[in-house]
Amino acid sequence: MRTPVPPIVYRPTRSAPATLLALLLLIVGGLGTWLTAYRFLTGDWPQRTVTMLGEVGAASLGSIAVLVAAGIAAAFGFFLLIAALWPGRPKHVAFLPDDIHGQTALHRSDLAILVKRHVEQLATIRSASATVRRSRVDVVVFSDAEDLDAVREAASKRTNEALEIFQPVGITHGRVRAKRVS
């Protein structure tokens, strides 16, 4: 019995919430380590820490400072939760779907390069740039031709041809802009 092959196209890790939580824990851990080392070396807690902990201990739960700190902590926690649950954009996109078992994937920047090269084959285009978004390919063509609308339409046709050839999954259309260069 064969084990199933994991798909090539996968969602990226949740690096933003993990990084924020790691920085928060690093700051708290560093402060705790410094306080502990100070206590071991001198035998007393730092005076500033004793004063601050006394003020924090004397604060009531209804005070403005405690409510503001609780609100900031709740907003930060809510942000981390939303960032962890929000689906990330896959770095790879499946393309050339067929009946053969398995998956063919391509990095989004490589797909942009393929579409760009396909569009640059037009004689009226001096250069082009392409970017792959969630469901479209954005192409900017640079030309010195007088009729930019005709250049844009020809580049749009070439972009659609490239998308028909490669058939990237989830990318439905292209958007083309033409700019004049001298």
Reported confidence tier of residue 7, pLDDT bands at 50, 70, 90: low
Arithmetic mean of pLDDT, 139-167: 92
Contacts of 174 (CB under 8 A, 6+ apart): 115, 136, 137, 138, 139, 156, 159, 160, 162, 163
Q: Where are the domains of the chain?
A: 15-85, 92-180
Whether the pLDDT of residue 78 is over 80: the answer is: yes
Arithmetic mean of pLDDT, 68-75: 89
| The pLDDT of residue 80 | 80
Q: How, if at all, do strands 136-143 and 127-132 pair? A: antiparallel
Reported confidence tier of residue 21, pLDDT bands at 50, 70, 90: confident
Least confident of 83-87, 152-156, 161-165, 167-171: 83-87
Least confident of 103-107, 153-157, 166-170: 103-107
Q: In the CATH scheme, what is the homologous superfamily, with its name and number, of domain 92-180?
A: Cation efflux protein, cytoplasmic domain (3.30.70.1350)
State the Cα–Cα distance between residues 74 and 130, nearest whole angstrom: 41
Arithmetic mean of pLDDT, 131-155: 92
Per residue in 91-123, pLDDT (tens digit) is 888 888 777 777 788 888 999 999 999 999 998
| The pLDDT of residue 13 | 64
Reported confidence tier of residue 178, pLDDT bands at 50, 70, 90: very high
State the Cα–Cα distance between residues 13 and 90, nearest whole angstrom: 10
